[in-house]
Amino acid sequence: MVVLTTTGFGWAMFRPGGSGTSTADVIGSGFNAPDGATDILLIGNDSRTDAYGNPLPEEVLRELRTTQEGGDLTDAMILVRIPNGGGSASAMSFPRDTLVDPGHGIGEIKLTETMNNGMAIERARLQEEGVTDEKELQEKSRLAGKQLLRETIEKITGVSIDHYAEVNLLGFYEITKAIGGVEVCLKEDTQDSYSGANFKKGVQTIEGGDALAFVRQRHGLINELSRGKRQQVFMSALARKVMSSGTLTNPAKLSNLIDAIQKSVVLDPGLANDLLGFAQQMQGIAGGDIQFYTAPVHMVGPSGQEDVTIKIPEVKQFAADLLLSPQEREQKMAAQQARASITVSVYNASGVTGLAARVLDEVSAQGFQEGSSANAETMAKSVVYHAAGEEAAAKQVADFLGGLPVEPSSNVTSGTVQVYVGKDYAGPGAQEFAGPRTIRLDGVRQLPPLHTQQVDEQPITADGIPCVE
């Protein structure tokens, strides 16, 4: 839509009030704290309705390779950050099964279920107030669900979201058909009867039902992160195709694309009414300058049954770092990669219950690999031990913990660091001696993460066709 507004044909359709695009006031009129960027939440909704809430006909569902079963589950959630003053735009996607707590007494649920929970809470509230009109119940509860999803992503990222755009199953189908498909690349053949995926290895053009199957396939992939990569390369391929001269100079393709958008895309009113202004803000951002990342997540549990967990401070820092220049981000990621190669274990020599576990939490939140925590004989002074020749690694840990002394030890293996927190320790984690949190005894930890999203992940861009699982 950004590209369409830069053409005369697009302007004729997307001038204020002229697009006919469905809107939802997901952002509201509240004050958005400045955070250095224009932030847009992009949602792929597993809804069996069009943009106006009308159920899709059975013949359309057959084309989409699905049925009426299902709800407003969000299959794709991507936060786009555009720095104030222009520059490179970045996006972070969230695996749909990421465990979050949206508040409102809901408890811990999967991110994909947030919208449905928000809808259910609002519907029950409205019915308690005596609302019986089904259309009113649906419209207001749907909006509340979208708003809860926005609030939840703001909560875990520390970002103030400015705009909202949502596309449903019908949109994935019709938009790709309108532009003649997009090019993607797979590393291996794949087949999945649940989603209808049936793809060969290598570069191929997909559209319609195949495009849906490509982004929705779950069975046969390594884990939820693989599905997220599929969505990223699809988005980058879509951006590349829409920005190509073959689309921009073809009135028929533009007309079909606009028609598909009107049927399947929901925007917040601020974005719908000022697409031209938004396009001007986006000037100079070419396809290759949009970089797609995955939010830092941790896969915990046995293979095939992993829980997708996050550490909110880690996600907030990652979101903030998206506003760095590509060079600054590369330098910071190099430093994070160095930390990720160091495994840290913490031993409680202070006599304070739970201190080692808290210190290890603080250390792992900085990107160091999490080792074990255990009790040790009481020591007056804290110290960080390292293997011979690896003082630099120990110094990184020691500096973070408040400038602790470092010493070599023959008992420490290469690539690891052992922290002994003594009675003098006053660094990160030491101030949490009291409070509402549950006491956790020190000791060897159970079920360490089988996989942690790598901090040195190379971004997906719209420049080229990366091959994925």
The pLDDT of residue 414 is 94
Residue 410 sits at φ, ψ, to 5 deg, of -70, -15
The pLDDT of residue 408 is 96
**To which residue do tokens 């939820």 refer?**
224
Q: How many other CB atoms are there within 10 angstroms of residue 425's CB atom?
A: 24
| pLDDT tens track, the chain, 469 positions | 444 444 444 544 555 444 567 888 999 866 667 788 889 998 887 766 666 667 776 766 666 666 555 556 777 888 988 888 766 788 888 988 899 999 999 999 999 999 999 999 999 999 999 999 999 998 999 999 999 999 999 999 999 999 998 887 777 777 888 888 888 888 888 887 767 778 889 899 988 888 878 877 766 665 566 767 777 777 777 777 776 656 666 777 777 777 777 777 888 888 877 765 665 555 445 444 678 888 988 888 776 677 889 989 889 988 998 888 767 877 777 777 788 889 999 999 999 999 999 999 999 888 899 999 999 999 999 999 999 999 999 999 999 999 999 999 999 999 999 999 999 999 998 875 433 333 333 333 322 333 334 434 566 665 667 787 7
Reported as half-sphere exposure (CB side, CA atoms, 13 A), residue 128 has a value of 6
Q: How many other CB atoms are there within 10 angstroms of residue 143's CB atom?
A: 17
What's the CA gap between 365 and 122, in Å, rounded?
35
- In contact, 80 and 105? CB cutoff 8 Å: no
Give how far Cα 42 sits from Cα of 12, 235, 236, 267, 324, Å. Answer: 24, 11, 13, 10, 21
The pLDDT of residue 2 is 47
The pLDDT of residue 133 is 95
The pLDDT of residue 241 is 74
Class of domain 4-323: alpha beta
The pLDDT of residue 375 is 94
pLDDT in tens, 176-229: 888 888 888 888 888 877 677 788 898 999 888 888 788 777 666 655 667 677
Q: Give residue limits of the domains in the chain.
A: 4-323, 339-444
Report the CATH architecture of 339-444. 2-Layer Sandwich (3.30)
The pLDDT of residue 100 is 96
Radius of gyration of the chain (CA): 25
pTM, to two decimals: 0.69
Which of left, alpha, beta for 8 (phi over 0: left; psi -120 to 50: alpha)?
alpha
What's the CA gap between 424 and 444, in Å, rounded?
23
pLDDT in tens, 360-412: 999 988 889 999 999 999 999 999 999 999 999 999 999 999 999 999 999 99
Give how far Cα 27 sits from Cα of 50, 65, 244, 272, Å. Answer: 21, 33, 31, 12
Residue 388: strand, helix, or coil: coil
The pLDDT of residue 12 is 47
Residues linked to residue 157 through DSSP beta bridges, in sequence order: none
- Amino acid 199 reads F
What's the CA gap between 273 and 3, in Å, rounded?
16
Q: Any residues with CB less than 8 A from the CB of 258 and at least 6 apart, and which?
A: 4, 10, 13, 14, 19
The pLDDT of residue 447 is 29
What's the CA gap between 111 and 184, in Å, rounded?
27
The pLDDT of residue 446 is 29
Count how many residues are written for the chain: 469
Using the 8-state DSSP alphabet, how is residue 4 labeled? G
Reported as half-sphere exposure (CB side, CA atoms, 13 A), residue 291 has a value of 20
Q: Using a CB cutoff of 8 Å and minimum separation of 24, what contacts does 327-334 make?
A: 333/455, 333/456, 334/456
